[in-house]
């Protein structure tokens, strides 16, 4: 007889192990299985910069946290209900994230004296009573997996590689997840190594059977499907959504996409993904360095393609000079920055929002560049699409900001109807009678986009200051001021067409929380929770950071206090204070980790006292 199930609303699970333990794989499987079962899901993969740090070491711990629920959720969860720790180091690193009385599954086979010492434990925590406030389930994961695979031809080492699927099987049982999807995935993934199809399938089933059989687990949990608006859904990470947004913009505008890039964490997946879209006419070039990557994109735009480059903080530092060339030459260019913890190499795999001021101001001269930031994984699609539209319609470089957290996190995405995507109306200039290189469109101030090869429009542009209209090199003092102001005005005019800023909560009140980028989910949850507690708090999340929306100043005036939470030391805060002369306060965290909901709630409470 099947053991009883309890119905719950949500759960947060954290898988943790060595970076070679297959943690990210099983995390992704649990995410997909949960989404297909109708749950709302939100994930947070957290991995080390080292590809294979020494086994058992604290530095090498890879984690994958996911929350799933029967209602709408915006974050991967503050604190975990279940921690699967594949070794003592994984336990040491992640135990603070487990809630009291939470379920702790540990692979006791790895708790050797050597591994305990590597993790900094003097005694075995599973035996010394230090884990008393949790429900501890010691499982001989390695031995049980070997047992399950006894009949296979695999070597012992190969068998041990399958233990992540044994652990996944246990979690599947615990949350009543269907295994079909994962079985199919295994078949596909190991199509060329059939022995691993059998082994991983056996391990997955053995994990489930173990939970059903052992007396350790009394009951399992069930989560009812969440209520989503009707539509077709898929899970998507921020980097995938970014790539698709770029392809969609190219497709809808009819302008081929050329992506120049140099591998860099956490932006590389955009390159990987785009490289597989050649059947959409997408050209990717992995070039010699970050500067070449942006140079290729600028050359492509000059020649009539949609030039895009993508990187992360240090790469953006290298691209600054070239972005400025696109500013003065007034060429479309899309620059994706998947932010990570800096300065310098910083913490490549950890998230941060500390490049905002660099993106706004980090170039020589008066250099206005539109800056857009995506707020969640699925929002990367729309924001990247809009970045391309603005770049081509205003003839300007545009910076698209994402961050390591939303780049790698996944959530369900309601697949958009192509016919409802905003129009991107691009025309190359061909008229030889009226042409002048810097003759502007009176509405957008965009200069004409002329593709070399167009008869009769031969002309020269470049990085030297240009004379208004003719585009000749000019050192005329008044012309330089006029051109500087025109370039600024062109970017400023983008604000005219922005939609009204959405306010979550009352349109006036005691406290306004303003955020941007990947903090959206945490801020939304925090504000919603505090509203439910009776606090007069509203939330505005900015996609457009340059130009800022025209209605933002009025909105700010309608609140007594303003809070700007950011994963930096107060960058948007500086802009808001300077631009609107309001005494806004910051909530700042710079640990390479997202905010927790409770941290934001505490600040809201403090400010509303």
Partner 1 sequence: MKAEHARRQNSRKSSPTLPGATPTLTKKDYESEQDVRWCPGCGDYSILAQTQRMLPEFGLPREKFVFISGIGCSSRFPYYMNTYGFHTIHGRVPTIATGIKIAHPELSVWVITGDGDALSIGGNHFIHLMRRNLDINVILFNNRIYGLTKGQYSPTSEQGKITKSSPMGSIDRPFNPINLALIAGATFVARSLDRDTKHLQRMIKAAFEHKGTSLIEVYQNCHIFNNGAFFQQTERKTKPEHTVFLEDGEPLIFGEKRDKGIRLHGFTPEVVSLTDGEHSPEDLIVHDPSREDPTLATILSRISEFPGLPHPIGIFRNIERPCYEDLLEQQLQEAKTWKNAGDLEALLSSGDTWVVE
Please state the closest distance from residue 573 (CB atom) to partner 1, in A: 33
Which of 94, 235 has the CB closer to partner 1? Answer: 235
Q: By the 8 A CB rule, do 277 and 265 touch?
A: no
For 395-432, letters b (16+ CB in 10 Å) and e give bbbbbbbbbbbbbbbbbbbeebeeeebeebebeebeee
Please state the closest distance from residue 5 (CB atom) to partner 1, in A: 22
Which of 28, 118 has the CB closer to partner 1? Answer: 28
Which of 108, 252 has the CB closer to partner 1? Answer: 252
For 70-82, letters b (16+ CB in 10 Å) and e give beebbbbbbbbbb
CA distance 203 to 206: 5
Which of 54, 231 has the CB closer to partner 1? Answer: 231
Which of 233, 504 has the CB closer to partner 1? Answer: 233
Please state the closest distance from residue 28 (CB atom) to partner 1, in A: 11
Please state the closest distance from residue 283 (CB atom) to partner 1, in A: 6
Please state the closest distance from residue 100 (CB atom) to partner 1, in A: 35
Helix (H) or strand (E) holding 167: helix 163-174
Which of 438, 595 has the CB closer to partner 1? Answer: 438
Residue 196 phi/psi, 5-degree rounding, is -80, -25
Q: What is the DSSP letter of 53?
A: P
Please state the closest distance from residue 274 (CB atom) to partner 1, in A: 12
Residue 445 phi/psi, 5-degree rounding, is 65, 10
Q: Is the dihedral of CA 548, 549, 551, 555 positive or negative?
A: negative
Q: What is the DSSP letter of 3?
A: P
Which of 57, 320 has the CB closer to partner 1? Answer: 320
Please state the closest distance from residue 462 (CB atom) to partner 1, in A: 3
CA distance 161 to 152: 13
Nearest-Å Rg of the Cα atoms of the chain is: 26
Strand 40-46 versus strand 61-69 pairing type: antiparallel
Please state the closest distance from residue 500 (CB atom) to partner 1, in A: 27
Please state the closest distance from residue 369 (CB atom) to partner 1, in A: 16
Give the number of other Cβ atoms within 10 Å of residue 42's Cβ: 24
Please state the closest distance from residue 163 (CB atom) to partner 1, in A: 25
Which of 56, 245 has the CB closer to partner 1? Answer: 245
What the block records as the tokens of 546 is 């340059």
Assign 3-class secondary structure to 518-583.
HHHHHHHHHHHHHHHCCCCEEEEEECEEECCCCCHHHHHHCEEEEEEEECCCCHHHHHHHHHHCCC
Which of 298, 494 has the CB closer to partner 1? Answer: 298
- State whether residue 321 is helix, strand or coil: helix
Residues whose CB falls within 8 Å of the CB of residue 272, separated by 6 or more in sequence, listed in order: none
Please state the closest distance from residue 406 (CB atom) to partner 1, in A: 18
CA distance 332 to 338: 20
Q: Give which of 254, 515, 567 is closest to 379, Cα–Cα.
A: 515
CA distance 450 to 458: 9
Please state the closest distance from residue 320 (CB atom) to partner 1, in A: 11
Which of 299, 314 has the CB closer to partner 1? Answer: 299
Q: By the 8 A CB rule, do 293 and 263 touch?
A: no
- State whether residue 44 is helix, strand or coil: strand
Residues whose CB falls within 8 Å of the CB of residue 478, separated by 6 or more in sequence, listed in order: none
Which of 474, 529 has the CB closer to partner 1? Answer: 474
Which of 69, 248 has the CB closer to partner 1? Answer: 248
Please state the closest distance from residue 253 (CB atom) to partner 1, in A: 12
Please state the closest distance from residue 1 (CB atom) to partner 1, in A: 31
Which of 34, 337 has the CB closer to partner 1? Answer: 34
Which of 278, 485 has the CB closer to partner 1? Answer: 278
Q: What is the DSSP letter of 465?
A: -
How many residues comprise the chain? 609
CA distance 30 to 43: 10
């Amino acid at each position: 007889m099947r053991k009883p199930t309890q119905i719950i609303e949500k759960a947060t699970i954290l898988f943790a192990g060595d970076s070679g333990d297959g943690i990210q794989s099983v995390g992704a499987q649990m995410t997909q299985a949960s989404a297909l079962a109708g749950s709302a899901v939100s994930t947070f993969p957290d991995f080390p910069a080292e590809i294979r740090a020494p086994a058992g070491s604290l530095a090498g711990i890879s984690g994958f946290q996911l929350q799933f629920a029967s209602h709408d959720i915006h974050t991967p969860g503050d604190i975990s209900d279940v921690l699967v720790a594949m070794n003592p180091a994984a336990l040491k690193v992640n135990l603070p994230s487990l809630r009291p009385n939470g379920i702790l599954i540990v692979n006791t086979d790895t708790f050797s004296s050597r591994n305990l010492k590597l993790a900094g434990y003097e005694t075995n925590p599973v035996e010394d009573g230090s884990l008393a406030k949790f429900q501890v389930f010691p499982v001989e994961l390695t031995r049980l997996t070997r047992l399950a695979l006894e009949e296979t031809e695999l070597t012992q080492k190969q068998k041990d590689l399958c233990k992540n699927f044994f652990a996944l099987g246990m979690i599947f049982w615990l949350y009543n997840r269907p295994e079909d999807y994962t079985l199919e995935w295994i078949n596909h993934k190991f199509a060329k190594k059939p022995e691993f199809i059998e082994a991983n399938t056996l391990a997955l089933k053995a994990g489930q059977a173990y939970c059903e059989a052992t007396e350790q687990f009394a009951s399992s949990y069930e989560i009812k499907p969440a209520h989503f608006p009707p539509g077709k859904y898929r899970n998507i990470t921020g980097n995938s959504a970014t790539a698709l947004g770029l392809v969609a913009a190219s497709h809808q505008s009819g302008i081929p996409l050329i992506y120049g890039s140099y591998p860099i964490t956490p932006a590389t997946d955009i390159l990987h993904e785009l490289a597989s879209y050649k059947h959409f006419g997408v050209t990717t070039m992995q070039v010699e360095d970050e500067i070449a990557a942006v140079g290729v994109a600028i050359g492509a735009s000059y020649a009539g393609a949609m030039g895009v480059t993508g990187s992360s903080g240090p790469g953006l530092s290298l691209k600054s000079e070239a972005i400025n060339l696109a500013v003065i030459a007034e060429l479309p260019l899309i620059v994706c920055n998947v932010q990570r913890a800096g300065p310098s190499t910083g913490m490549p795999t950890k998230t941060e929002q500390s490049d905002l001021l660099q993106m706004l101001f980090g170039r020589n001269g008066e250099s206005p560049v539109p800056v857009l930031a995506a707020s969640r994984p699925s929002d990367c699609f729309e924001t990247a699409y809009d970045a391309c539209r603005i770049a081509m319609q205003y003839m300007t470089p545009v910076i698209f900001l994402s961050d390591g957290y939303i780049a790698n996190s996944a959530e369900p995405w309601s697949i958009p109807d192509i016919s409802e995507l905003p129009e991107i109306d691009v025309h190359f200039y061909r008229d030889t009678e009226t042409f002048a290189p810097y003759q502007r469109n009176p509405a957008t101030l965009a200069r004409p986009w002329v593709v070399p090869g167009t008869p009769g429009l031969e002309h020269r542009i470049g990085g030297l200051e240009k004379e208004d209209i003719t585009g000749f090199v000019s050192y005329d003092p008044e012309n330089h001021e006029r051109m500087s102001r025109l370039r600024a005005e062109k970017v400023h005019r983008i604000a005219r067409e922005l939609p009204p800023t959405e306010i979550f909560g009352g349109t006036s009140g005691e406290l306004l929380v303003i955020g941007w980028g990947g903090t959206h989910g945490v801020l939304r949850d925090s504000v919603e929770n505090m509203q439910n507690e009776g606090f007069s708090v509203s939330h505005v999340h900015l996609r457009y950071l340059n130009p800022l929306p025209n209605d933002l100043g009025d909105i700010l005036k309608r609140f007594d206090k303003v809070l700007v939470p950011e994963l930096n030391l107060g960058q948007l805060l500086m802009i808001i204070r300077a631009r609107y002369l309001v005494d806004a306060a910051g909530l700042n965290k710079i640990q390479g980790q997202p905010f927790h909901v409770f941290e934001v709630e505490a600040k809201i409470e403090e400010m509303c006292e």
